[in-house]
Amino acid sequence: MNTQTFLEKLQDELEEDNTLTLETKFKELENYDSMSVLSLIAFIDESFDKSLDTKHFKDISTVQELMELIGSENFED
Amino acid sequence: MINIAAIEHYLPEKVLTNSDLEKEFPEWNAAKINAKIGIDVRHVAGENETSLDLAFKACQKLFKNYDKSNIDFILFCTQSPDYFLPTTACMLQDKLELPKKTGALDFNLGCSGFVYGLALAKGLISIGLAKNVLLVTAETYSKFLDKEDKSNRSIFGDAAAVTIVEKDDSKADFQFSVGTDGSGFENLIVKNGASRFGKSDDATLFMNGPEIFNFTIENIPGLVEDTLSKNSLTMEDIDLFVFHQANSYMLNYLRKKCKIPEDKFVIDMKNSGNTVSATIPIALESALRNGKIKSGSKVLIAGFGVGYSWAAGIIEF
């Protein structure tokens, strides 16, 4: 997946009105709540067939860090 | 082999609505979260109301249309029993004034409990120990919830469901599929109050929701496939899929992942919440009432959660 598509899909999944960037911090998002983690899990499973160890979730603050956790091999650019 | 002859349920009178939660936690977007989990109302047992009490009331409703003298075995599934001992099923035998030759036992399972209960009932019927089993799935998780734990208070509701499983040789002999992964035991747990951590007033429930979601994504699609192939059936042979009603977001994702058409998939928890082992029979009962399940319908049921423990099976109505 390329980064732009990823950002758009992620925005959609998290039901955000504003465009996301690599620097966006999840906790600062308007609609981020306890259910958002479930959305992230579903999105990453569906798009990358990958299950994320939720222990790592609390260390993630930005979109960039989430992408690193998914693994750079999953991004084309 | 077996037939579900009757199902009833009882929900405690006291309710907790989304607006109640909003009032208690004004900083929290209860409306939005509850829209996502698909729950409007959950019922909460009164201070002196227990799983046994809820089960007894469900039985009273059941016996309006079912002759209790047929029952020869009680299987009682609960994780919130009245006492460590004695067995809740024994007290229920007495309360229901069932004969002393009635068999009775409790088993401790959560969301997989109803499906396990059917499998156990089938086993008891197969060995000739029972002909008509009263399967009780009754839970009062509210007693384990911290007042400040808004997430779990939004999700869990108290309830009792009672199901009559009878011997019926006109029905196909469908096989069950079960699974266990105890390595996840700490992700849904009431740690205090039992033997490991001793006496405590602080017996509160902890749930790692994201990890539970991961576990279901990993295991439930395979469980459905396994259950179908064990019974030489395909997706198309099944008229309705009734999964444990955990929350509607998780259910929708599992449905997509299992490639189950929307019109064959039940989401029915708006007015009772996640009632643990009672969700499947409550959903079955309402599907029977609204005609989604007809005579001859094949229904695939799947329960999964605390343990981790999971089980699935096929019921012919």
Shortest Cα distance, chain A CAs vs residue B141, angstroms: 20
| Distance, CA of A35 to CA of A39 (rounded, Å) | 7
The reply to whether B258 belongs to the active site is: no
CB atoms under 10 Å from CB of B202, counted, come to 10
Interface predicted TM-score (ipTM) of this complex, two decimals: 0.89
Q: Tell me how far apart the alpha carbons of residues A41 and B212 are, in angstroms, rounded to a whole number.
A: 11
Question: From the CB of residue A76, how many other CB atoms can be counted at a distance below 10 Å?
Answer: 9
CB crowding B110-141: b at 16 or more within 10 Å, else e = bbbbbbbbbbbbbebbeeeebebbbbbbbbbb
- At B16, give phi and psi (nearest 5°): -125, 110
- Is B132 considered catalytic here? no
* A57 interaction partners in chain B (CB closer than 8 Å): 210
pTM of the complete model:
0.95
The pLDDT tens digits of the residues spanning A22-46 come to 999 988 888 788 788 899 999 999 9
| Domains detected in chain A | 3-74 (1.10.1200.10)
Residue B43 bears catalytic tag: no
Q: In 3D, which of B257, B254, B228, B242 has the Cα closest to residue B292? A: B242
- If we measure between CA atoms, which residue out of A69, A55, A57 comes closest to residue A32? A57
Mutate which of A15, A30, A53, A54 to test chain B, going by most B C-beta atoms within 10 A? A54
Cβ contact (<8 Å) for A54 and B210? Answer: yes
The beta strands (E) that lie in B70-186 are given as: 73-77, 103-107, 132-139, 159-167, 177-180
Annotated active-site residue in B111, B152, B187, B247 = B111
- Answer yes or no: are the C-beta atoms of B272 and B280 closer than 8 Å: no
Q: Which two tokens stand for residue B287?
A: 């599907």
At A59 the pLDDT is 80
Query: B187-222, pLDDT tens digit by residue?
Result: 999 999 898 987 776 779 999 999 999 999 999 999
